Amino acid sequence: MPGTERVFIDNQWLKSFDEKGKWSLFSRSRATVDYSENTNLFTGAYLNYTTKSGIGGTVLGRVSTLGAGGDAGIHFFKANESFLIYALASIEMQSELAYSWFSILRYTPAINSDWKVYTSLELFTNFSQGYHLASVQRIRIGLGHSNYQFGLALNLSGLGHKYDNTDINPGIFFRKQF
């Protein structure tokens, strides 16, 4: 996603380890580079156990520009041909507890046999001791053809107890689904 403030690159994959899809691994690696060449990196691996109802446990390991750590939480996951929801409430496993909410909602209804609408909303919020630490919203609206998606993108973020540091990065996105 080339935006007005920075370039955002995101690589995600989801792999089930059994036929019923109870055990899965969601992995994501993100990188941002602003036009002054400042970078930010994140890699996370989410090991999930999902019951038939869609609810289950998650253990997350992550490494980023800010450090490394792990989380444990409860997730909800459902997906079909045109809809996906993954929502995770988790607790950081550190000496000072932090709580987070992460979710991806994707809706891709068919327009005809070749084209789909592509919409995606990603939300992340992090709290510690009752105070807001960070929030991120990533919005994508566009079209899909075959395994390619493209359209308009907006990344929003707010940092600090009172959203002292906010960032708005509109742009366009290109996506390839494998």
Written as one string, the DSSP assignment of the chain is -BBSSEEEEEEEEEEESSTT--EEEEEEEEEEEETT--EEEEEEEEEEEE-TTSEEEEEEEEEETTEEEEEEEEEEEEE-SSEEEEEEEEEE-SSS-EEEEEEEEEE--BSSSSEEEEEEEEEEEEEETTEEEEEEEEEEEEEEETTEEEEEEEEEEEESTT--EEEEEEEEEEEE--
Sequence ranges of the domains in the chain: 6-176
pLDDT digits (tens, 9 = 90+) for 68-85: 999 999 999 999 999 999
pTM over 0.85? The answer is yes
pLDDT score recorded for residue 94? 79
pLDDT digits (tens, 9 = 90+) for 116-125: 999 999 999 9
Residue 132 has pLDDT above 80, yes or no: yes
CATH number of 6-176: 2.40.160
Residue 95 has pLDDT above 80, yes or no: no
